[in-house]
Amino acid sequence: MYVDSHCHINFPELAARLPEIFGKMAENQVSHALCVAVDLPEFPQVLDLAERYPNVYASVGVHPDYTDTPEPSVEQLVQLSQHPKIVAIGETGLDYYRLEGDLEWQRERFRTHIRASRETGKPLIIHTRSAAEDTIRIMQEEGAGLDKGGAGGVMHCFTESSAVAEAAMAMGFYISFSGIVTFKSAKELQAVALAVPLNKMLIETDSPYLAPVPFRGKTNEPGYVKHVAEYIAKLKSLPLEEVAQQTTQNFFKLFKIA
Ligand code: NI
């Protein structure tokens, strides 16, 4: 049994073929998926999926790359997360790769999410790209981690160094690997995945993007998370069953799902 800890099945390319997508999940023993919100206008669709499908959970948050979108307040995030199927705050974080200029608004938005996470006790889903130093600094300043009474969370679609992974794990965060780890060119990331202990690891698709080998370049979907697990098992020389079981257990523990 596998869990896709991060997908966007509400995006049009996946939402249009949900029966097929759930069929593929069943075929590949992917029992659950977390549908991650990227902004507030689309949040009702995300929540609707979580309400309609027992094996879908959801989050609430505004992605750091979304510029032309309503800014969330702490109160709003706290209020919207008061639903039993909303298990996390995010995705949030920093991205200095896609956007340029004065990004103070992005850091403020990130702080807002961390405050909502602390208030609700719901863990954070963090996106970081070309901004690792500021991401870790703000997580520490705002007390995102278990070490400071925060709710912890996950560094999603991880592509940073071992040092960044260690700093996040020191705050009680999990590290989530996507299909990127299966790419031939991802040697450094593979070394990071080798170093991250299995009991600190989640797996995800981030679908519809970043399909793992052998589907690289195609539309990704939650059922393909099995290929990420297979790669990790081979990399770590572990039985596939152990990777499946441990990453699934980590998911339920982090998101406090009984
Ligand atoms: Ni995402």
In this predicted model, what pLDDT tens digit does every residue of 16-31 receive, in sequence order? 999 999 999 999 999 9
Sign of CA pseudo-dihedral 230, 236, 239, 245 = negative
Question: Taking all residues of the chain, what is their mean pLDDT, rounded to a whole number?
Answer: 97
CA-atom Rg of the chain in angstroms: 17
> How remote is the CA of residue 127 from the centroid of ligand 1, in Å?
8
pLDDT at 197: 98
Mean pLDDT of 96-104: 93
Band (pLDDT 50/70/90 cuts) for residue 203 is very high
For 155-193, the pLDDT digits (tens) are: 999 999 999 999 999 999 999 999 999 999 999 999 999
* Helix 240-254 × helix 225-236 angle, to 10°: 120
> How remote is the CA of residue 63 from the centroid of ligand 1, in Å?
8
CA distance 159 to 122: 24
Instruction: Decide the pairing of beta strands 153-155 and 174-177.
Output: parallel
> How remote is the CA of residue 147 from the centroid of ligand 1, in Å?
26
pLDDT above 90: residue 35: yes
The HSE-up count of residue 174 (CA atoms within 13 Å, CB side) is 29
pLDDT at 195: 98
CA distance 242 to 256: 21
Band (pLDDT 50/70/90 cuts) for residue 146 is very high
Enumerate the domain spans of the chain: 2-254
**CATH code reported for the domain at 2-254:** 3.20.20.140
> How remote is the CA of residue 235 from the centroid of ligand 1, in Å?
24
pLDDT at 86: 98
**DSSP letters of 25-81?**
HHHTTEEEEEE----STTHHHHHHHHHH-TTEEEEE---TT--SSPPPPHHHHHHHT
Q: Is the peptide bond before 214 cis (omega within 30 degrees of 0)?
A: yes
Band (pLDDT 50/70/90 cuts) for residue 89 is very high
Q: b/e per residue, 73-89, with b = 16+ CB within 10 A?
A: ebebbbebbeeebbbbb
* Helix 104-120 × helix 132-142 angle, to 10°: 40
> How remote is the CA of residue 61 from the centroid of ligand 1, in Å?
11
* Distances 251 to 2, 43, 142, 257 between C-alpha atoms, Å: 10, 22, 24, 8
> How remote is the CA of residue 37 from the centroid of ligand 1, in Å?
8
| pTM recorded for the entire structure | 0.97
pLDDT at 258: 85
Three-state secondary-structure class, residue 181: helix
